[in-house]
Structure 1
Amino acid sequence: MIVIGVSSGTSADGIDVAAARLESDGDLIRLTPLGHLAHPYSPDLRGWIRAALPPASTTLEMVCRIDTRIGQEFGEAALKAMEEFTQGRADLVASHGQTLFHWVGGSTVHGTLQMGQPAWIAEATGLPVLSDLRVADVAAGGQGAPLAATLDTLLLGGRSEPTAALNLGGIANVTVVRPDAPPSAFDTGPANTLMDTAMRVVTDGARDLDVDGALARTGAPDPDLLEYLLSEPYYRLGPPKSTGPELFGPDHLERALHEVGRPSDGDLLATLVELTAITVADALRPHGVTEVFASGGGTQNPVLMDRLATHLAPARLTSSDAWGLEGDAKEAYLFALIGFLSWHGVPGSVSDCTGARRETVAGRITPGAKPLRIPEPVVWTPRRLRIEPVRG
């Protein structure tokens, strides 16, 4: 079947959409990437989302507006991908939505809220839509994150050496696969979110991206600020664990600058790059990984990648492009995979990684233009994922 995966990450800078052909062959799933595009949010919607993210307060009216508009813009993005990559034909849309709140208390997730009303996506595309992909795992006692473990464990399984997949979105998350132990996955802490916040501070809101790490390259880490930031207790929690802007939002950086003082702009960005590199490397070191496959927007920052390579050594730092998946597209393909699994009644989360009592089938389904016909649940259990080249 052909599945359209649609998502927007913690940075809330736009919509990633990917089309994939998926088929099963015993315990092997074959995924053929058909195409990926980035669809920016409209300026007013992006502003609404940013204004509603923690620690800000909002109103139910704005919640309704955001939920509606995200659904509409996700629908436009999914339809565009269908027209561009599948000649207008597909079987399902799997929509992660936009996370507005991840309710964490200590090491327990009590709830999670992803917005983007799926009825608008179904109306735009005519396809059934799988949405709310995290909630079943949370209800079963899991973190609801990182769902990337679903794809990572299938791709990395069978390796003879400990290996990790690293996603550098707003928050950094890792999946560790070892031949002698169950897989593990968790959020390590901030990746881009604090750097983006700092850029908005130093440019008075004009920019939220340090393109190519240009500003960070001009500075050096401030030791006092770095020490203060590294004192955050989250880094010492054991997995499973997950986090988001509820903890690592603008107020997190504001408190640090108030306590320690604000360094020069270049030193501020260099400090936040170093924070991400250190916390990722510290989180992976106990697992003895020999290779790390990186994906996500943070891979476009050469300063961050250089510092990660230094701190991760002797482990090798490699791009997930080596798998045949564009680093920026990996999460959209992940959600297409989860859509395929749920459609066939197969769990879309890895309980060893999320901490859930059991593995759950992800999401809820909104019918499309035609009567809904879900196949009988399959009897196979996927154990391997192979990325196939596009056939001519």
Structure 2
Amino acid sequence: MRVLGLMSGTSHDAVDAAAAHLTLDATGETLRLTPLGMVSAPYHARLRRALAAALPPAPTTMADVCRLDTGIGRAFADLAVRADRELCSGRTDLIASHGQTVYHWVSAGRVRGTLQLGRPAWIAEATGRPVVADFRPGDVAAGGQGAPLVGLIDTMLLRGRPGVPAALNIGGIANLTALPATGTPVAFDTGPGNALLDAAAHEATGGRLGYDHDGALAARGRVHEPLLRRLLAEPYYRLPAPKTTGKELFHPGYLRTVLHGADRPTTPDLLATLTRLTARTVADALRPLAATEVIASGGGTRNPVLMAMLRAELPARTTLLTSDALGLPVAAKEAYAFAVLGFLTLHGLPGNAPDCTGAEGPRVLGSLTPGRRPLELPPRPPRAPAALVVDRPPGG
């Protein structure tokens, strides 16, 4: 089955589409993924400005939400049409859309609700293909955190690797999945990945930069230790897993509050300090798990300063590599993960890992929007696959 995974993360800068050929082996124990490629498209500048202006803690209206839902849905649909043509030769069987998270409602450590915009009807209408979307609410309704949903895919991918393997994604928010030597898998958000870095670069340059390209600003600075200690005092870092967070907490106003009344560092020093914050909080989260291998993905892996700081923060015995080594490009891993989740949903299989999210049990996730043809569901496999194997792509 050829499945397109559509994803836009907490950096809300672009939509990614990754195409995968997915098959279950004869036993149903192993799901095999052959990457077919990835395409990406930035949000239109006007849409991105409207999205940024509506995100918490900014006030917004239901009219704004409706317009964003349509604008994001059409952006996803446009990229899906292109990806179907360029990556699947017009033969896509299913599209799985994560949508754009605009609010993740956390109260007293419990997720009460989550909202992703980008109505799947736009994608189904434009492509004619069935679309699975709205993955997170099913886990939340079952008492889970609704994130990180990639925990199930990471667990399948890491199973069988030696030692204590962990998968790390550094997007706007950083999250990890680990398979401890004893006990059950664990997955949670560690804290800000690029969120505060992007906010600082944007404000310090008057909007000229959306992020610290290649860590160039941070590379010129030095860590401001008093500010780092102040940032590390954030209570979120000491909450037990499972836990999730987002830009509802780590937004530009949060950074302004931390800096208020403090000895404000230079812009390079501020970026160096925030880069160290991300590296430190990730390493602190991994340390109790005794991870022996960390497989990183996401936009943060393209920041050499961040990766160098993370390497320095991790124990010497811990190997740090990227998901490219497993056959999944760092920029596309989450889009591939949602392609897998869509495949599981279509086959009536659970898409959450209760040990990771805290849900009461396994749940089939998402809602299904039919395409133009009559919808035919495949037979449900006798069991859910326990392992994910990535095969070499054609000509790779």
**TM, length-normalised to structure 1:** 0.99
Distance in 1, matches of 2:220 and 2:108, equals 37
Specify the SS of the correspondent of 1:182. Answer: coil
Please say if residues 212 and 218 of structure 2, whose CA atoms lie closer than 8 Å, have aligned partners that are also in contact: yes
Specify every segment of 5 or more residues in structure 1 that has no aligned partner in the other structure, as ranges. none
Q: Whole-Å Cα distance in 2 between the matches of residues 299 and 255 of structure 1?
A: 28
Superposition pairs for residues 202-241 of structure 1, below 5 Å? 202-241=204-243
Does the 8 Å contact 2:164/2:181 carry over to 1?
yes
| Secondary structure at the counterpart of residue 228 of structure 1 | helix
- Residues 1-392 of structure 1 mapped to structure 2, 5 A cutoff: 1-25=1-25, 26=27, 27-314=29-316, 315-392=318-395
Q: Is the 8 A contact 1:228 1:260 kept in 2?
A: no
Counterparts of 1:391 and 1:201 in 2: how far apart (Å)?
44
> Hey, what's the Cα distance between the residues in 2 that align with 1:273 and 1:155?
28
- Give the conservation status (yes or no) of the 8 Å contact 1:143–1:240: yes
Determine helix, strand or coil for the equivalent of 2:64: helix
Sequence identity (%): 55
Deviation at 1:380, TM superposition (A): 1.7
* Counterpart Cα distance in 2 of 1:150 and 1:127: 25
Query: Within 2, Cα distance between the matches of 1:13 and 1:201?
Result: 16
Partner amino acid, structure 1, of 2:357: T
* Alpha-carbon shift at residue 126 of structure 1 (Å): 0.4
TM superposition score normalised by structure 2: 0.98
Q: Separation in 1 of the partners of 2:381 and 2:389?
A: 19
Letter in 1 for 2:274: L
Q: Distance in 1 between matches of 2:264 and 2:95?
A: 45
Matched residue type, 2:164: P
8 Å CA contact retained: 1:3, 1:20 = yes
Asked if the contact 2:350/2:384 (under 8 Å) is kept, the reply is no
Shift of 1:150: 1.7
- Spell out, residue by residue over 1:277-315, the C-alpha distance to the aligned partner (whole angstroms, 9 max, x if none): 100000000010111000000000000000000101221
Q: Is the 8 A contact 1:158 1:179 kept in 2?
A: no
Q: 2:13 corresponds to which letter in structure 1?
A: D
In the aligned structure 2, how far is the partner of 1:38 from the partner of 1:348? 25
CA positional deviation for 1:91 = 0.8
Separation (CA, whole Å) in 2 of partners of 1:341 and 1:259? 51
**Structure 2: unaligned runs, 5 residues or longer:** none
How far, CA to CA, are the matches of 1:13 and 1:68 in structure 2? 17
